[in-house]
Amino acid sequence: MPSDIFLIRHAAAIDETVTLRDPHRHLTAEGRAQARALGDRLRWHDCEPTHIWSSPLVRAIQTAELVALALNSTTTVESVPALGPDGHPREVAAALGTLPPDALVMVFGHEPALAMLGGILVGDPELGAIAKAEALRIHNGRVRWRFAWNSEAPTPG
């Protein structure tokens, strides 16, 4: 299991409509700004990802790409179906378990699955929801900190 895992919920997206279904919802202008700001903040928190995993939904992929760009990361964003609405957090936890301990993985997804994944990884099913454009860092199986794109300081875990 990697010693450092970042769980990140996608930024603000447009609402679903009759013609634009949920999987195709994209980030709003505010959401794009949130993702870039979150990436800027993560640059100051030892975040140089070796792996970037994302839900296949448009808003999560866009968030991952904008955060990676703000980090100046050359790591490719990988679409992971198990992070989508039909996936299961236990599948993601099992996949994370196949990575080397020195990997630093950024995982982009949706609620409530991200909080469930975090609960599995830290052994606390009451971890709490992850807000839009919020990052939660798990270091050696414990929550080290969490912050949203606009918060002043990280909240220690």
Q: Which domains does the chain have, with CATH numbers?
A: 4-15+27-156 (3.40.50.1240)
What residue type is assigned to position 72 of the chain? Answer: N
**What is the distance between the alpha carbons of residues 14 and 106, in angstroms, rounded to a whole number?**
23
On average, the pLDDT of the chain sits at: 92
CA distance readout (Å), 9 to 18, 79, 84, 110, 113: 24, 15, 12, 6, 10
Question: For residue 138, which of 156, 153, 111 has the smallest C-alpha distance?
Answer: 156
Mean pLDDT on 93-117 = 97
Question: What are the structure tokens assigned to 25, written together?
Answer: 């919802």
pLDDT of residue 155 exceeding 70, the answer is: no
Check pLDDT > 80 for residue 51. Answer: yes
Q: In the prediction, which pLDDT does 80 show?
A: 97
Residue 3 has pLDDT above 50, yes or no: yes
**What's 68-108 look like in SS3?**
HHHCCCCCCEEECHHHCCCCCHHHHHHHHCCCCCCCEEEEE
Please give the pLDDT value at position 129: 94
**Alpha-carbon distance values, 121 to 40, 45, 98 (Å):** 26, 20, 14
Average pLDDT over residues 40-61: 93
Q: What is the pTM of this model?
A: 0.92
- pLDDT value at residue 151: 56
For the segment 127-149, the average pLDDT, to the nearest whole number, is 94
Rg (CA), the chain: 14
